[in-house]
Amino acid sequence: MANVTLKNVTKQFDDVVAVNEANLEIRDKEFLVLVGPSGCGKSTTLRMVAGLEEITSGEVEIGDKVVNDVPPKDRDIAMVFQNYALYPHMNVYDNMAFGLKLRKFPKKEIRQRVEEAAEILGIENLLERKPKQLSGGQRQRVALGRAIVREPKVFLMDEPLSNLDAKLRVQMRAELSKLHDRLQTTVIYVTHDQTEAMTMGDRIVVLKDGFIQQVDDPLTLYNEPVNMFVAGFIGSPAMNFLNCELKEEGSGLYLDGAESFKIKITEDIIEETPEIKDYIGKEVVFGIRPEDLHDASIKSDIEIIDENTIHAEVEVVEPMGSEIYLYLAHNDHSFIGRVDAESTADVGDNIKIGVDRSKMHVFDKE
């Protein structure tokens, strides 16, 4: 068991800086997820921790020991990749035992560890099968088993579920979380899928273009994104961004979206972020998640007043069963509302949308 620390870690490939001065402290037993779009530097970060990629500058520590010059096999880590790379001619038992045999573990201990891992993963009855006789989910379990038997200090996982179909992915997500609870080991997990990150991570690192944007637990990331990138990346459907102007009228601050809305900013928000006043008279971006919008014609938790209302025309209606997605537009604004299933809004209707002002965000126009 171990903590992992990155100190000013940079990786440069010719003219591409894949990871830029990354500082990160991964706690012992933590499930930490690296998330971001393709090419943002997730795999490179993981590969530097694994020792598969040389570090251009900075230091990586595993369990308080600098490992920059320690070869991968001596780092006490185990990696699980998206292509499980099982040996096709070996059965499940031998696939799982292989790494231990190489390390000259006694036969008895190998058997004990493989059987224990197989039991944890529920694959005890598959030990004699060859990889081609297994389903995708079973193969993924064998790949995990191969990592587990090594009893490493740290598990490194690079998109381990991305080759599985959607349903299995959801199931394996929960299984991996349970596995982490049971093994009590540090896990660093790479994914481009924000849902995977949100459901599995104790903490999440959001990366963009080689730079760490924010490191926080899932709820903090969702509720308090530090910038538009994080706000737009976390959550589904994504947060709406509406261009407008910040105006002061009387004693109040308003987000003025011309004829579409004039929303009063609550005193709470002004108290929490007094620097918002620096933007009076400037263009800003009003951020609101689809789930924080309501069809004003039906009863909801928020009281509908002029100061929290957006006017819009309904362009598309997507009934989802328990709720309805409304694709809305007015002037230059277009946005999505995730409203109550009771909504009877129809395509072409001009409707009023209520904003839960306790959930609104104001961003610098980038």
Residues that bind ligand ADP (CB under 6 A): 13, 16, 18, 36, 38-44
What amino acid is encoded at 59 in this protein? Answer: E
Nearest distance in Å: CB 47, ligand ADP: 7
Nearest distance in Å: CB 365, ligand ADP: 27
Q: Can you say how many angstroms the Cα of residue 60 is from the centroid of all Cα atoms in its chain?
A: 23
Nearest distance in Å: CB 205, ligand ADP: 11
Cα-based distances in Å from 364 to 109, 242, 259, 278: 59, 12, 21, 11
Determine contact, residues 120/76, Cβ cutoff 8 Å: no
Nearest distance in Å: CB 222, ligand ADP: 21
The residues near 144 (Cβ < 8 Å, ≥ 6 apart) are 80, 121, 160, 176, 179
Nearer to ligand ADP, 44 or 194 (CB): 44
Q: How far is it, in rounded angstroms, from Cα 319 to Cα 258?
A: 30
Nearest distance in Å: CB 36, ligand ADP: 6
Nearer to ligand ADP, 18 or 255 (CB): 18
Nearest distance in Å: CB 61, ligand ADP: 20
Q: How far is it, in rounded angstroms, from Cα 189 to Cα 174?
A: 14
- The two tokens of residue 161 are 């579920």
Nearer to ligand ADP, 149 or 198 (CB): 198
Nearer to ligand ADP, 41 or 145 (CB): 41
Pick the closest to residue 202 from 347, 1, 30, 318 (CA basis): 30
Nearer to ligand ADP, 160 or 354 (CB): 160
Q: Is 235 left (phi over 0), alpha (psi -120 to 50) or beta?
A: left
Determine contact, residues 46/215, Cβ cutoff 8 Å: no
Nearest distance in Å: CB 37, ligand ADP: 7
Nearer to ligand ADP, 16 or 174 (CB): 16
Determine contact, residues 205/24, Cβ cutoff 8 Å: yes
Nearer to ligand ADP, 37 or 122 (CB): 37
